[in-house]
Amino acid sequence: MPTALLLPVFLRLAGPVAFVTAAITAGSLNRSFMLVPLLVAGATLTTILIRKVSPSPVGDLQGLLNPAAPPQPQSAFRGMGKRFGMGLIGYSIAFALAASIAAIFQATEFEPRLMASDASYILIPALIALLGAWGSARLGASQMAGMMGQMQDMFAQMQAAQGQESAEDPFTVDGEVIDPDEDRDPS
144-159 confidence digits (pLDDT tens):
777 778 888 888 888 7
Q: What is the pLDDT of residue 135?
A: 85
Task: Render pLDDT for 128-137 as a digit per residue (tens, 0 to 9).
Answer: 999 988 888 8
- Nearest residue to 15 via CA among 38, 35, 40, 43: 43
Q: What is the pLDDT of residue 61?
A: 57
Say if residues 10 and 133 touch (Cβ distance below 8 Å): no
- As a whole number of angstroms, the distance between CA 55 and CA 33 comes to 32
Q: What is the pLDDT of residue 19?
A: 93
Chain-wide mean pLDDT for the chain?
80
Domain residue ranges in the chain: 3-169
Q: What is the pLDDT of residue 59?
A: 57
Q: What is the pLDDT of residue 50?
A: 84
Q: What is the pLDDT of residue 22?
A: 93
HSE-CB of 23 using CA atoms within 13 angstroms: 25
- As a whole number of angstroms, the distance between CA 86 and CA 39 comes to 12
**Segments of the chain scoring below 70 in pLDDT:** 1-5, 55-74, 76, 162-171, 180-187
- As a whole number of angstroms, the distance between CA 6 and CA 31 comes to 35
**pTM (whole model) above 0.75:** no
Task: Render pLDDT for 20-43 as a digit per residue (tens, 0 to 9).
Answer: 999 999 999 888 889 999 999 999
